[in-house]
């Protein structure tokens, strides 16, 4: 079942609440469920306890994995926003112009949602394990609702060309090579707006920088505060993006 218009309009607020609860994890003190330890620390301890790798190796290994996931999320978000446009990405209403079959949209239908999921997964490494599980489940369910709602809306607005696109391009698991050369809509001459994309995607870029560089301080609270600052900057930029510039 797809998300309602209200859910789509309030998607940033809903996701913020889910992420906040994941970091806070009030059930740890309230009901004794889980431990007040970050996921990356817990994973490193478990890898060491199981004898897979020494703890001194497990810590940088887990940090590197988190940073790589964050990098993938930032790249997908920047690449998708460069072609779709920051105003459309951040708009409070669903938009339907023409079928977009350029850039990452030639390989996967929802690169922005996939990028967001990677960003949230990377942030989950800083949460308690139970908070990370909570976020993984709720974010996945909510994003699938958003995807189904958008795809139903675009099918109704764009008709057969978009249906052909649905048949040609996978929803979330990218093809290694574009399939639209043989079936589905042809790419347009849309030029990517890289500068706008970098400015508009401050948050995933910030998450990557924090996990790639701040993690080596092993100061979880410092990284959480940095993520809050990154998110705050992204909200300021979102408020400054002209609503009438959507393609």
Residue 71: phi and psi, rounded to 5, are: -65, -45
* Total number of domains constituting the chain: 1
Task: Check residue 115 and give its pLDDT.
Answer: 98
Give the whole-angstrom CA distance, residue 143 versus residue 121. Answer: 13
Radius of gyration of the chain (CA): 19
Q: Do residues 59 and 44 touch, judged by C-beta distance below 8 A?
A: yes
pTM: 0.92
Residues 6+ apart with CB under 8 A from 157: 96
The pLDDT assigned to 247 comes to 42
Sign of CA dihedral 175, 73, 131, 49: positive
pLDDT of res. 13: 96
Cβ atoms 114, 108 nearer than 8 A: yes
What token pair was written down for 202?
A: 């401050």
Res 92: pLDDT: 83
Cβ–Cβ < 8 Å for 246, 91: yes
* Distance in angstroms (rounded) separating the CA atoms of residues 110 and 117: 11
Residues 229 and 46: their CA atoms lie apart, in Å, by 31
Q: Return the closest-CA partner of residue 45 out of 58, 34, 33, 36.
A: 58
Q: Give the rounded distance of the alpha carbon of 100 from its chain centre.
A: 20
CA atoms within 13 A on the CB side of 220: 14
One digit per residue, the tens of pLDDT, for the chain of length 247 reads: 788 889 999 999 999 999 999 999 999 999 999 999 999 999 999 999 999 999 999 999 999 999 999 999 999 999 999 999 888 888 888 887 788 888 999 999 999 999 999 999 999 999 999 999 999 999 999 999 999 999 999 999 999 999 999 999 999 998 877 665 555 565 666 789 999 999 999 999 999 999 999 988 889 999 999 999 999 999 998 888 665 444 4
Measure the CA dihedral 67/205/218/114, to 10°: -40
- Helices (DSSP H) in the chain: which residue ranges? 5-9, 11-24, 27-31, 39-49, 55-84, 86-89, 111-124, 129-158, 160-168, 194-200, 202-213, 220-240
Q: Which domain holds residue 55?
A: 5-245
Distance CA 196, CA 89 (A): 11
The Cα angle at residue 125 between residues 119 and 126, in degrees rounded to 5: 105
């Amino acid at each position: 079942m797809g998300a309602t218009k209200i859910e789509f309009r309030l998607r940033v607020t809903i996701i913020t609440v889910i992420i906040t609860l994941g970091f806070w994890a009030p059930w740890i003190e309230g009901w004794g469920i889980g431990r007040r330890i970050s996921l990356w620390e817990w994973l490193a301890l478990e890898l060491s306890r199981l004898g897979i790798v020494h703890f001194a190796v497990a810590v940088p290994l887990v940090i590197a994995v988190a940073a790589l996931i964050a990098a993938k999320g930032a790249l997908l978000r920047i690449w998708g926003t460069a072609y779709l446009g920051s105003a459309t990405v951040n708009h409070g209403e669903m938009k339907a112009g023409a079928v977009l079959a350029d850039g990452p949209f030639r390989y996967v239908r929802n690169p922005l949602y996939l990028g967001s999921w990677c960003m949230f997964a990377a942030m989950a490494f800083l949460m308690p394990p139970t908070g990370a599980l909570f976020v993984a489940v709720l974010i996945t369910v909510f994003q699938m609702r958003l995807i189904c709602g958008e795809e139903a809306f675009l099918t109704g607005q764009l008709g057969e060309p978009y249906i052909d696109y649905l048949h040609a391009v996978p929803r979330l698991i990218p093809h290694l090579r574009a399939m639209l050369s043989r079936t589905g809509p042809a790419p347009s001459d849309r030029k990517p707006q890289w500068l706008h994309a970098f400015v508009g995607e401050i948050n995933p870029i910030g998450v990557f920088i924090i996990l790639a560089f701040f993690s080596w301080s092993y100061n979880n609270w410092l990284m959480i505060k940095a993520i809050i600052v990154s998110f705050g900057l992204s909200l300021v930029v979102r408020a400054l993006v002209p609503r009438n510039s959507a393609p």
